[in-house]
Structure 1
Amino acid sequence: MKVYIDVRLLDKKNNTGISRYIEFLLDFYISKYSDVDIALVTNDKFLKYRNCNIIYTKLKPYNILHFILFYFRFKRVDSEIFHSPFYSGFLFGTKKSKNIITVHDLMYRFVPNFFSPNNTINRIKIIYFDFIVSFSIKNADKVISVSNSTKQDLLKFLNIDSDVINEAPIKILRSNDEILKRNNLLGIKYFFYCGNNRKHKNLNFLINVFNKNTALPLLVLAGNGHKSCQNVLSVGRVTDEELRSLYENSLGFIFPSEYEGFGLPVLESLFLKTPVILSKIPAFLEFKKSKNTYFFSLNDDGELVRILEEVIQKGFIKDEYFLKEYSESNIICRYESLIEALNG
């Protein structure tokens, strides 16, 4: 095999950000080599992906014992590249393959009480993850950060430099307005959020703003774990086609997070000509060159309301230069250059 890709976090059912990134990598490597030259390492016995070779393992990426055993199971793999699309790779370096690891964020280190409100439990889990993450990154031949923000976090944490290659926005070719019909959203003005409701997403702040300011348009939430309430509508999990429809028909996408590694929904919104309202955090400020990004200070509800009113008035502004910088073709060129440098 020319390329091994660790797809143990591929989750088509929940369509996570890492799943989307893995699918982008699969398409990239298949177009560069061919599917018969690619092996996928998976925990899914039933996984099939074109004509790729499937290698099943019970070893989980974030179990320390499994992490150690994974090295001994795959250290003799004879391939040009072994790509880990997340921060669980190899315990030590391997001689026969060049190892690439992608780091999306170091959220567990920078978000307070990420694992548990209990400080002792949280600290133990940080040490647990540090073992896996630090060995994986230190023993990679190339480290990719998905943003300059993640690159800086890596320098602070491990003093390791990395190549910045942004994630590519997913290509959603069609929209499905059935989601609008089912939820009586046709012709309705609304703002939009898609994602989970973990604490660092800061959704309670956003929901409270719309609860208190009922003169604002509706806030629509897509994803698991949300509930409808005053001036807020939850539509649950959606397909890619429904997601496109929700983006395209919204006044703007709101991302109020306290921490992110990158922010793929920002690009998805902008490519679908939807303005984006963002909290002022390092990862999001990388998008400030766009004419369609608006920023508010964390938890400043007055500033957020003023920006929402401004977005309603302005709508989307044509901005081809910014979109070209984050285009799939540009990102593919960066991967080509990285692999050339790795093999050179």
Structure 2
Amino acid sequence: MKIFINGRFLSQSLTGVQRYAAEMVRAMDRLLISSEAPRALVDAEWQLLLPPDANVTIDLKRIESVKIGRRSGHAWDQIDLAQHARNGHLISLANSGPVFHPRHLVVIHDAQVFQRPEFFSWTYLTAHRSLGYLLARTATIATVSDFSRHELASVLRLTPTSIPVFSNSAEHFAATVPDLSVIERLKLRPYNFFLSVGSMTRNKNIALAVQAAKQLNRPDMPLVVVGGGNNKVFQGESTSADDSVIMAGRLTDEEIAALYSRAAAFVFPSLYEGFGVPPLEAMTFGCPVIATTADAVRETCGDAASYFDPHNADALRQRMMERIVAGRISDDERRRQQARLTTFSWRRSASAMLQFLDKKTDRAGTTIEVEDHNSA
């Protein structure tokens, strides 16, 4: 048996989707090495197929990385990848893949292009809606949260039980060594600033966090905003800084880890998420989380965050003031964070995906009713 993994994500800029794909591939590789995967999959031939412009590599021991074809982007997906993988099973982990592959498992992370079209350019919207509809007819769709499962089932006319859930995790961030020099470089005082990480796009709603910080009007407790924009895809919003806001731009994982470890709280104002990894990253470093009431974010954070309406800047300002009064994270808050963190594991998600794929290979051509793998 041959199993191929769509490696186009290694030619793309790193976002949560690409990180998910990389971590799932690493976790599957480790499971195959340890022989903890189903026997048929352990014995299979595995290849991570890469386009010519893939500029990142993953250190894998069991899965072979192979560059194929001469195209890039969607053309590589639909022509080069489809042709090379035609005699095996294919796994696509980053929202897209060839629409005419008969044995294809594709992870679509959310239904944002269907539910929140105002966030996207019309060209991106048209292309990805069409791709979603086609994949729903020809591939097995998987996703990352129960919220996204029901959203995708509704818009793609699928039954929720036909969509397995293989969750995200933040375990990868636990091994990141904080670069504390960023604290001095940004002229911050430890535990005397709020942190928000996200691109300057409408769905990330950073503008509301900036508005709340300005309303709070505490230059001694500024909001540090980390991230950049991508207005070619999204209909972006611009914002500006003052004494209450520090626009830090793009930073390394090590610098972001340092900010997580020294922030008074992490602010996550997103309007729409398929899962919501940054709050878990913050919890990894014991940073209190103030999060949006978006459904997927509540599903991820549970009782380990305080919440606010993402359309109400004053509600966020109140949560920020409450954090200032409460001070450093309490033992009870930290216990709740640890409980949420243990809920999500790359190893469990990869294992659940391999178990599901094993069932699919045993029953090729049939529809399998799946159980909820969200905490698997």
Pairing 1:304–2:316 present: yes
Pairing 1:131–2:139 present: no
The aligned residue for residue 264 of structure 2 is 251
Pairing 1:220–2:224 present: yes
Alpha-carbon distance, 1:47 to partner: 4.9
Pairing 1:241–2:251 present: no
Pairing 1:193–2:203 present: no
Candidates 347, 355, 359, aligned match of 1:337: 355
Give the whole-Å Cα distance in 2 for the aligned partners of 1:72 and 1:289.
Answer: 40
What amino acid is the match of 1:50? D
**1:154-165 pair list within 5 angstroms:** 154-160=152-158, 161-165=162-166
Q: Is the 1:89–1:137 contact (alpha carbons within 8 Å) kept by the matching residues of 2?
A: no
What amino acid is the match of 2:100? F
Give the whole-Å Cα distance in 1 for the aligned partners of 2:104 and 2:95.
Answer: 12
Distance 1:72 1:261, change over 3 A: closer
Pairing 1:149–2:147 present: yes
What amino acid is the match of 2:205? N
Moved more, 319-328 or 262-271: 319-328
**1:51-200 pair list within 5 angstroms:** 52-62=64-74, 68-70=78-80, 72-76=82-86, 78-79=87-88, 81-94=89-102, 98-116=103-121, 122=122, 126-140=125-139, 142-160=140-158, 161-172=162-173, 173=175, 174-187=177-190, 189-200=192-203
Q: How many residues align?
A: 328
Q: Which has the higher contact order (CA 8 A, sep 6+)?
A: 2
**1:248-287 pair list within 5 angstroms:** 248-287=261-300
Distance 1:170 1:113, change over 3 A: same
Q: Deviations over 1:192-220 (max 9, x none)?
A: 11120111211212111212321372100
In the superposition, the TM-score normalised over structure 1's length comes to 0.85
State the SS of the aligned residue for 2:179. Answer: coil
Unaligned runs of 5+ in 2: 34-41, 230-238, 363-376
The aligned residue for residue 8 of structure 1 is 8
Q: Is the 1:20–1:170 contact (alpha carbons within 8 Å) kept by the matching residues of 2?
A: no
**1:33-48 pair list within 5 angstroms:** 33=32, 37-44=46-53, 47-48=56-57
Distance 1:61 1:105, change over 3 A: farther
Q: Deviations over 1:18-75 (max 9, x none)?
A: 2211211221222133598423222425554436332233444446xx6543465235
Alpha-carbon distance, 1:301 to partner: 2.2
Q: Is the 1:62–1:129 contact (alpha carbons within 8 Å) kept by the matching residues of 2?
A: no
Q: Is the 1:101–1:137 contact (alpha carbons within 8 Å) kept by the matching residues of 2?
A: no
Give the whole-Å Cα distance in 1 for the aligned partners of 2:57 and 2:351.
Answer: 28
What amino acid is the match of 2:222? L
Give the whole-Å Cα distance in 1 for the aligned partners of 2:306 and 2:2.
Answer: 44
Distance 1:199 1:58, change over 3 A: farther
State the SS of the aligned residue for 2:282. Answer: helix
- Aligned-residue identity in percent: 21
